[in-house]
Amino acid sequence: MNSGNDAALETPVRWLQSLRFALLLLSLLLTLIFGSVAVTLNQQAVATPLSEASAARFSQQQHSLQGQFNDKIGNAERLAQALNDLTAELWGREAELRHLGQHLLEQLPPESPVIAAGIWPEPREFQRDRVRSSLYWTIQHDGERQVRFHNDYNNTANISYHGESWYTPTRHQREPGCYWTQRYTDPFLRKAVITCAIGLRRDNRFIGATSIVLDPQRLHPDMATMKRASPFYLLLDHGQHILNAQGIALEGSDTLPALAQHDKRFGQITVQLHNEAERRVSNVRQDKPQWREEVDKLSQQSRQLSQLQAEHILARLHADSDDATPGRSVLIKSDALHQTAVRITPLSNIGILLSGQNQASQLAGVPWDRWLSASITAGAIAIALLLSFVFSGGVVLRPLHRLIRQLRLPAEDTHVDTTPAHEIGVIGELVNARHAHIRRLLEAANRKSRADARKAKNNPGREQNSDSGWAVIDAIADAVAVSDTQGNISYLNHAAETLTGWNLAQARGLDFDEVFHILDQHGKQRLAQLATRALQASPAAEQAVAVMFKTRSGHHLPSKLSSAPIRDSRGAVVGAAIILNDARSSLGSSGPIASELRDKLTGLLNRQAFDAELASRCEAARQNLANTFALLYLDVDHMQDINQAFGSEGGDEFLRQLGRLIQSDVGENNPAYRLNSDKFGVLIETADPAAAQLTAELLSADVQSWGFQWHGERRDVSVSTGLIMVDKDSGRPADVLRQADALCQQAQNEGRGRIISGRAQADKEDRRDDRNWLTNIKKGLAEDRFHLSTQQIRPLQRNSDDGHVFSTLTALEDDEGFWTGADTFMPVAERHDLAEQLDRWTIDQVFKHLIKDPELTVGIDFCIISLSVSSMQSPRFLDFMIEHFKDSAVSPNKICLDLSENNVHTRLSSARDFCRTMHRAGCRLSLSGVSTRPSSYKLIRELPVQLVRFDPALTHSADRDPVERLATESLHRIVHTLGKQSMALQVNSAELLRVLQGIGINYAQGDAIARPTPIVFQAQA
User: Please, are residues 632 and 696 in contact by the beta-carbon 8 Å criterion?
Assistant: yes
Q: What is the CATH number of the domain that holds 667?
A: 3.30.70.270
Residues 6+ apart with CB under 8 A from 501: 551, 552, 553, 664, 667, 668
With cut-offs at 50, 70 and 90, classify the pLDDT of residue 858.
confident
Identify whether residues 725 and 874 lie together within a single domain: no
Q: Which of 951, 958, 1015, 1009 is nearest to 794 (CA)?
A: 1009
Identify whether residues 982 and 950 lie together within a single domain: yes
Identify whether residues 886 and 806 lie together within a single domain: yes
Question: How many other C-beta atoms lie within 10 A of the C-beta of residue 81?
Answer: 17
pLDDT value, residue 925: 95
In a domain, 444, yes or no: no
Residue with more model confidence, 529 or 25: 529
pLDDT value, residue 923: 94
Identify whether residues 334 and 216 lie together within a single domain: yes
∠ CA(587), CA(591), CA(597), 5° rounding? Answer: 85
pLDDT value, residue 992: 92
Instruction: Provide the residue range defining the domain that includes 482.
Output: 475-582
Residue percentage of the chain with pLDDT more than 90: 16
Q: Is the pLDDT of residue 10 over 50?
A: no
Identify whether residues 753 and 771 lie together within a single domain: no
The model's pLDDT over 234-246, given as tens digits with 9 standing for 90+, comes to 888 888 888 888 8
In a domain, 462, yes or no: no
Count of domains forming the chain: 5
Identify whether residues 74 and 162 lie together within a single domain: yes
Burial 545-569 (b: 16+ CB within 10 A, else e): eebbbbeeeeeebebbbbbbbbeee
Residue percentage of the chain with pLDDT more than 70: 79
pLDDT value, residue 187: 81
The per-residue pLDDT of the chain, averaged, comes to: 79
Q: Which of 273-282, 440-449, 978-987 is predicted least confidently?
A: 440-449
The sign one gets for the Cα dihedral 685, 686, 687, 693 is: negative
In a domain, 115, yes or no: yes
Domain edge (last residue) among 732, 762, 792? 762
CA distance 414 to 412: 6
Sheet of 755-759: strand order equals 672-676, 679-684, 629-636, 719-726, 755-759
Q: Which of 862, 941, 861, 870 is nearest to 897 (CA)?
A: 862
The model's pLDDT over 339-348, given as tens digits with 9 standing for 90+, comes to 566 778 887 6
Identify whether residues 855 and 933 lie together within a single domain: yes
Q: Is the pLDDT of residue 529 over 80?
A: yes
Q: What is the mean pLDDT of residues 367-374?
A: 66
The model's pLDDT over 807-852, given as tens digits with 9 standing for 90+, comes to 999 988 877 666 778 877 888 888 778 888 999 999 999 999 888 8
pLDDT value, residue 117: 93
In a domain, 445, yes or no: no
Q: What share of the chain is helix, strand, coil (3-state, %, to 5)?
A: 50, 20, 25
Identify whether residues 750 and 788 lie together within a single domain: no
Type of residue numbered 194: I
In a domain, 813, yes or no: yes
Distances from the Cα of 1013 to the Cα of 573, 787, 792, 862, 1010, angstroms: 79, 11, 9, 17, 9
Q: Which of 307-321, 598-612, 832-846 is predicted least confidently?
A: 307-321
With cut-offs at 50, 70 and 90, classify the pLDDT of residue 129.
confident
Identify whether residues 200 and 253 lie together within a single domain: yes
> How would you classify the pairing of strands 573-582 and 479-483?
antiparallel
Identify whether residues 519 and 636 lie together within a single domain: no
pLDDT value, residue 667: 82
Identify whether residues 158 and 229 lie together within a single domain: yes
Identify whether residues 751 and 775 lie together within a single domain: no
Q: What is the mean pLDDT of residues 126-152?
A: 83
Could you list the beta-strand ranges (E) of 219-336.
231-237, 242-246, 328-333
pLDDT value, residue 419: 59
In a domain, 14, yes or no: no
In a domain, 284, yes or no: yes
Domain edge (last residue) among 734, 762, 790? 762
Q: What is the CATH number of the domain that holds 349?
A: 3.30.450.20
